[in-house]
Amino acid sequence: MRHHRTAAVCLSAVLALCPLAAQEAKPAADGAAAGWRALFDGKSLTGWKETDFLGAGKVTVEKGVITIGSGILTGINWASPSVPFPAAGYELRIEAARIKGSDFFAGITFPVRDSYCTWINGGWGGEVVGLSNIDGADALRNETSFAKKFELNRWYALRLRVTQNAILAWIDEEAVINVDISKKYISLREGEIDRSIPFGIATYATVAGVRKIEWRPWTPPAK
């Protein structure tokens, strides 16, 4: 009995020190059924590379989590010049958590038609969410911008849909962005974020965890 109590106490202590490890990943069965295709094998950066930002922090993979360390900008991006999904008509989903720091923990750069855009989560001091850039205006200054408080060591399910005429986004299945881009100019914010193309995930002065990266084709439902 004493042995069991001791083991339980030790396990509790480990989980207390590693709050992200204590949160189990959501089952993948629903994703497979819905046609989701994994872009992270849970063990390595196969298919990816560390983004060559100046002053970047360390990137490690352990126990199914990519830890993106704290630098000026730090991140990973797809290792091939082309991504395995189209420039429109697709969805992405990523699970990410801010581990340490107070700026964006998931800056997701993705292709849009013949250009690229970045979905910022937790920027400008920790709360700004939005797309950079829409008609030359970044995530702080265009119609997609809003404020959201993000808790440390909490996993957030981020889902993005890109079509020819719109970009939509959800956080924990709550719709947060729906912008018509049919007559808008899409571009990246000026600076090193262009090193994240064609597809990347970056942090700014913040440590983040990423444990799921998936995509699937998306077409409008039949009427």
Domains of the chain, each with CATH number or no CATH: 24-217 (2.60.120.560)
- The phi, psi pair for 193, rounded to 5°, reads -60, -20
Contacts of 29 (CB under 8 A, 6+ apart): none
Angle at 179 between CA 178 and CA 183, to 5 degrees: 160
Instruction: With a cut of 50, list the residues of the chain below it in pLDDT.
Output: 1-19, 21-33
Is the distance from CB of 223 to CB of 135 less than 8 angstroms? no
Through-space distance between the first and last CA atoms of the chain, rounded to whole angstroms: 63
pLDDT score of 20: 58
What dihedral do alpha carbons 31, 33, 36, 42 form, nearest 10°? Answer: 50
pLDDT tens for residues 92-119?
999 999 999 999 999 999 999 999 999 9
Q: How many angstroms separate the CA atoms of 209 and 112, rounded?
A: 25
**DSSP helix/strand/coil, 191:** coil
Q: How many angstroms separate the CA atoms of 185 and 135, rounded?
A: 5
Contacts of 3 (CB under 8 A, 6+ apart): none
pLDDT score of 104: 98
Q: How many angstroms separate the CA atoms of 8 and 10, rounded?
A: 5
> Residue 133 carries which side chain, given as an amino acid letter?
N
Is the distance from CB of 158 to CB of 91 less than 8 angstroms? no
What percentage of the chain exceeds 70 in pLDDT? 85
Q: How many angstroms separate the CA atoms of 131 and 82, rounded?
A: 22
pLDDT score of 7: 40
> Residue 187 carries which side chain, given as an amino acid letter?
S
Cα–Cα distances in angstroms (integers) from residue 126 to residues 105, 120, 140, 152, 189, in the given order: 9, 10, 12, 11, 18
Closest C-alpha among 119, 103, 128 to residue 205 = 103
For residue 26, how far is the Cα from the chain centroid? 16
Q: How many angstroms separate the CA atoms of 160 and 171, rounded?
A: 9
**DSSP helix/strand/coil, 59:** strand
